[in-house]
A and B are shown apart, each in its own frame.
Chain A
Amino acid sequence: MKHKSLVSITDYSKAEYLKVLEVANDFEKNSYQNLLNGKVVAALFFEPSTRTRLSFESAINRLGGKVIGFSDANTSSVTKGETLYDTIKVVSNYAELIVMRHPLEGSARYASEIAKVPIINAGDGANQHPTQTLLDLYSIYKTQGKLDNLNIYMVGDLKYGRTVHSLLMALSVFNANFYFISPDELKMPKEYKMYLDKIGLKFIEKKDIDDTINEADIIYMTRVQKERFSDPIEYERTKNAYVLKSDMMENCRPSMKVLHPLPRVNEIDIEVDSGPYAYYFEQTENGVYIREAIISLIMGLK
Chain B
Amino acid sequence: MKNNKLEVSAIKDGTVIDHIPAGHLFKVINILKLDSIDNTITFGTNFLSKRLGKKAIIKLSNVFFKDNDINRIALVAPSAKLNIIKDYKVVEKKIVEVPDEIQGIVKCVNPKCITNNEKVTTKFTIEDKKKIKLRCVYCEKITDIEQLDTI
Contacts and interface: CB of A to CB of B under 8 A. Distances in A.
Q: Is the interface of B mostly helix, strand, loop or mixed?
A: loop
B112 interface: yes
Contact of A125 (B119, B136, B139, B142): B139
A284 B113 CA distance: 29
A105 B113 contact: yes
Interface string B124-151: 0000000000001111111000000000
B125 to A, nearest CB: 12
Contact of A104 (B114, B137, B140): B114
A127 B108 CA distance: 14
B118 A105 contact: no
Nearest to A128: B140
Given A83-B118, A85-B118, A109-B137, A104 B113 contact: yes
Contact of B140 (A84, A102, A103, A106): A106
B118 A109 contact: no
Interface residues of B, number: 17
Contacts of A104: 112-114, 117-118, 139
Contacts of A105: 110, 112-114, 138-141
15 contacts: A85-B119, A104-B112, A104-B113, A104-B114, A105-B139, A105-B141, A106-B114, A106-B115, A106-B136, A106-B139, A106-B140, A107-B114, A109-B137, A109-B138, A127-B141
Interface of B: 108, 110, 112-115, 117-120, 136-142
Interface of A: 8, 83-85, 102-107, 109-110, 124-128, 191
